[in-house]
């Protein structure tokens, strides 16, 4: 039976079960990589997901959600039980949408150009706030993906570190789809090296302690390679139904 034919109650039950399974696997991978379970954050990726399911995940213990689109987030925000829940934007951001999202989320993980960083800083300044961001890295060099290429990261970090109302907290990545686990671990490992390199460098406004990588199919491997924030959608909520 396909997901959309299941009743909402049934799908909520599934979310509750999935949550526990994923939470335990995250804890296992964290320990296996020499860390504590609470050192790795579990983000629920909520794109296309109806509020009832998101609220069920929050009841189970989710304290971090990620949305891809500004419009979708603002449209369902009022139906979510967000007390104590942190919100991150994780999708490509257009310049003309920056104004609407700054101040509404705790972090923008998908900063993929110095231009967008400048706009976020400008709009943050107008609101009298500083916005935490991650820089997205296109680790596989794919034409279809957003993000800085690893070899332009340093010059862009230098530029972005000059912006007054942004704080760079780390890196985010979506590696290429790989058939082999060993292959995807290579990409995660390269990301971890970049993260370690850049966290050690001194820039203004940059205090990196977040490495956001790993999704439904590969969060376990991502944690083994150093991720401390995994972004999980379909493994938690079921397959997405795009309307
Ligand atoms: C959709 C999405 C995810 C979650 O993908 P799943 O494979 O469903 O877990 C994670 N990160 C980003 C940036 C996404 O757009």
The per-residue pLDDT for 5 is 75
Give the distance (Å) from ligand 1 centre to CA of residue 232: 6
Cβ of 45 below 6 Å from ligand 1: yes
Instruction: Express each pLDDT in 153-210 by its tens digit.
Output: 999 999 999 999 999 999 999 999 988 989 999 999 999 999 999 998 877 777 899 9
94 pLDDT higher than 80: yes
**What's the whole-model pTM score?**
0.96
Instruction: Express each pLDDT in 48-75 by its tens digit.
Output: 999 999 999 999 999 999 999 999 999 9
Average pLDDT, the chain: 95
* DSSP states along the chain: --GGGS-HHHHHHHHHHHHHHHHHHHHHHHHHTTS-GGGSEEEEE-TT--HHHHHHHHHHT--EEEES-HHHHHHHGGGS--TT-EEEE-S---GGGHHHHTTTSSEEEEE-SHHHHHHHHHHHHHHT--EEEEEEE-TT--TTS-SB-GGGHHHHHHHHTT-TTEEEEEEEE-PPP-SSHHHHHHHHHHHHHHHHHHHHS--TTEEEEEEE---TTTHHHHHHTT-SEEEESHHHH-S----
The per-residue pLDDT for 241 is 78
The per-residue pLDDT for 4 is 61
Cβ of 33 below 6 Å from ligand 1: no
Return the CATH number of the domain spanning residue range 2-237.
Answer: 3.20.20.10
pLDDT band per the 50, 70, 90 thresholds, residue 243: low
The per-residue pLDDT for 2 is 60
């Amino acid at each position: 039976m396909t997901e959309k034919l299941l009743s909402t109650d049934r799908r909520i039950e599934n979310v509750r079960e999935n949550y526990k399974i994923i939470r335990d696997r995250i804890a296992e991978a964290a320990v296996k990589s020499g860390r504590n379970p609470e050192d790795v954050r579990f983000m629920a990726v909520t794109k296309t997901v109806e509020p009832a399911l998101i609220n069920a995940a929050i009841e189970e213990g989710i304290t971090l959600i990620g949305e891809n689109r500004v419009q979708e987030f603002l449209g369902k925000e009022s139906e979510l039980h967000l007390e104590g829940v942190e919100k991150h934007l994780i999708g490509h951001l257009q310049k003309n949408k920056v104004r609407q999202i700054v101040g509404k989320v705790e972090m923008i993980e998908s900063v993929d150009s110095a231009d967008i960083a400048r706009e976020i800083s400008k709009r943050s300044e107008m609101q009298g706030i500083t916005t935490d961001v991650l820089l997205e890295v296109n680790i596989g060099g794919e034409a279809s993906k957003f993000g800085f290429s690893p070899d332009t990261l340093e010059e862009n970090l230098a530029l972005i570190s000059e912006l007054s109302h942004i704080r760079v907290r780390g890196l985010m990545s979506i590696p290429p789809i790989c058939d082999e686990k060993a292959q995807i671990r290579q990409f995660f490992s390269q990301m971890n090296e970049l993260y370690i390199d850049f966290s050690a460098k001194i820039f203004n406004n940059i205090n990196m302690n977040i490495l956001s990588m790993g999704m439904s199919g590969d969060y376990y491997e991502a944690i083994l390679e150093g991720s401390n924030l995994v972004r999980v959608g379909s493994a938690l909520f079921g397959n997405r139904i795009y309307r």
